[in-house]
Structure 1
Amino acid sequence: MVVIATTKVYLNKQTAIPRQIIETLEIGENDVIEWDLDKDNNVKLNFRKREKEWTFDDIVGLMKTKEKTNAVELEMEPYQ
């Protein structure tokens, strides 16, 4: 294994991800870091893209029903 960079642990146990790692792995805002610790106390980091948080607009229309519905009435229901 080759050491690419070192970082310091700051106040509140925060640290920074080295720029070379960020650029190589294309790490962005809201990506997730998974920390694994093996039996010998060696740390392995896995960077992954955060799964999208679904909104109501994302799921509208994904499912079908045999029940007849009226879109205008359904839209007004929360206001009644």
Structure 2
Amino acid sequence: MDVSEGTTMSSSHSYLISSRQCWNHSDRLISKCSPEDLATAYNNRGQIKYFRVDFYEAMDDYTSAIEVQPNFEVPYYNRGLILYRL
């Protein structure tokens, strides 16, 4: 392994730690939101899961967003994207 590979691995490790901390923080904040903000938070968390290719978990978050705010169109679209990919 050369120096550049070590730097890349270190950066990847830092990113994983940072994303886990962000994830834990978002879980704590989600319970303290207004319905509109909560729906947005569920949708955004679903996006994170979607980009991690955790489609079933993302679908759960999009569904939660819809349950909290049925008039919020974005999670319906995002669920459609997942169904298309599956």
TM-score by length of 2: 0.20
Which one has more relative contact order, counting CA pairs under 8 Å at least 6 apart? 2
Determine which structure has the larger helix proportion and give its number: 2
Determine which structure has the larger strand proportion and give its number: 1
Instruction: Name which one, 1 or 2, has greater alpha-carbon Rg.
Output: 1
TM-score by length of 1: 0.21
